[in-house]
Amino acid sequence: MKVAVANAGLRRMLRSQPLAPAEAALPTRLFRQAAIRAADRGAGVPLVVLGVELTETSLDDLVAGLGNGQLLVIIGATAGPEGVMALDGETVGALIEMQTVGRLLPQTVAQRDPTTADLAMSEPFVHHFLAELRAEAEDGSFARTIAGLGILGRYANRHAVALALPDIRYRMVRLSLDFGLPDRQAGLMLAVPWRAPPAEASLQAVPNRNWSAALHRAVMDAPCRLDAILHRRTLTLGEVEGFTVGQVVPLPGVTVSSVKVEGPGGVPVGPGKLGQMGGMRAVRLSHPRPPQLEEMLPPLAAG
């Protein structure tokens, strides 16, 4: 049993890892300021952020880290749920107290299941928190992710989170909060989809790239097959089976100037002339022959 538990813990540590160096550059100050401003503007709550932790995690570990009594806010867009914001009981209690009695009470909040009323009282804080992130996040994968997200409601429990969210990697931020009273420390968690930077981002480092010239070079360097057709003749299967080595096959009407050059699919390119260059057979392309006028009616018989 102890071995199984240790292995499970090891797997969880391997799946939930700190962000890669490029993503770890996301400043913790961004989330710290967003939480402080959201608490002030959304409920007038005095707030100090004690710590910020940024990680990348799987859906399984995200759900496993959700606790009982948390208000699980659905974060998403018009397409549906994309993430979750978890507020613990102390955070929800502080938001409610400031909006109802105008001050924080000294006693801790009793643990209970969150309700729709809790969501309504917490919505101003969550709304301002997301708005601050959208306003202050610099251009990047996180800014593009958070840009279209808002509040869609609440999850009934963590099992609902597991059923609603896609099984992808998530960027998760945990904030440790202090409301300035003994034993009133709390926390919140926000998890949104982790999206890798788009492939075209590497091309943005070349602002003066001449796309027209690059496209022209790419097209002109593409392989193109040309067929030089000297003559086409229809034969029966019996005639072909009667061919022998060294046999001369007559090509009636064929001259060195009767070569036709065709592209893929038999598209005509133009006439050519058979010759040689550097000791090798070659075909010289020539201008198309001018159209010949033909009589529309057969000549009248002399009579």
Q: Which residues of 43-74 are buried (b: 16+ CB within 10 A; e: fewer)?
A: bebebebeebebbbbbbebbbebbeeebbbbb
175 pLDDT higher than 70: yes
Average pLDDT of the segment spanning 30-48? 91
pLDDT in tens, 249-265: 888 877 877 888 888 77
Span between the terminal Cα atoms of the chain, in Å: 118
User: Within 10 A of 150 (CB to CB), how many other CB atoms are there?
Assistant: 15
% the chain with pLDDT above 70: 81
Stated as kind and residue range, the H or E segment containing 132 is: helix 116-136
pLDDT in tens, 51-95: 999 999 999 999 999 988 999 999 998 888 999 999 999 999 999
What is this structure's pTM?
Answer: 0.58
pLDDT at residue 198 in the model:
55
1 pLDDT higher than 70: no
pLDDT in tens, 83-135: 999 999 999 999 999 999 988 888 888 888 999 999 999 999 999 999 999 88
Supply the CATH classification number for the domain 18-197: 3.40.1550.10
What does pLDDT average to over the chain?
81
pLDDT at residue 201 in the model:
44
Q: Would you kindly state where each structural domain of the chain is located, as residue ranges?
A: 18-197
Please name which of 94, 73, 92 lies closest in space to residue 84, comparing C-alpha atoms. Answer: 73
Taking the C-alpha atoms of residue 171 and residue 195, their distance in angstroms, rounded to an integer, is: 9
Give the pairing type, strands 227-229 and 259-262.
antiparallel
Between 131 and 15, name the one with better pLDDT: 131
pLDDT at residue 302 in the model:
58
